[in-house]
Amino acid sequence: MNSAANALLTTDEPAETGAQQIRDAIRDAIVERRLSPGTKLSESDVGNLFNVSRTLARAALQALSYEGLVSVEKNRGAFVAYPSPDEARQIFAARRLIEPGILREAAARITTSEIQHLRQLLLEESRLISERGQTARRAEIKASGDFHLTLAAISGNTIMQRFMEELVARSSLVIALYGQSTISSCGHNEHGDIVSAIEAKDLDHACHLMLHHIAHIEADLDLRERKGQGLKEAFDL
**Contacting residues toward a copy of itself, per CB under 8 A:** 13, 15, 17, 55, 59, 62-63, 66, 68, 74, 90-91, 93-94, 97-98, 101-102, 105, 156-160, 163, 167
- Considering only 35-43, 97-105, 168-176, 197-205, which stretch makes contact with DNA by CB under 7 A? 35-43
Residue 53 binding DNA, by CB under 7 A? yes
Cβ–Cβ under 8 Å, residues 122 and 191:
yes
Site residues for DNA, 123-162, by CB under 7 A, read none
Residue 75 binding DNA, by CB under 7 A? yes
Which residues in 190-227 are b (16+ Cβ under 10 Å) and which e?
Answer: bbbbbbbbbeeeeeeebbebbeebbeebbebbebeeee
Residue 38 binding DNA, by CB under 7 A? no
Beta-carbon neighbour count of residue 74 at 10 Å?
5
Residue 65 binding DNA, by CB under 7 A? no
**Rounded Cα–Cα distance for residues 125 and 200 (Å):** 22
Report, in Å, the least distance between residue 17 CB and DNA: 4
Residue 48 binding DNA, by CB under 7 A? no
Three-state secondary structure call for residue 69: coil
Q: Which residues pair with 199 in a beta bridge?
A: none
Q: Which residues make up the interface to DNA (CB under 7 A)?
A: 17-19, 41-45, 51-56, 58, 72, 74-78
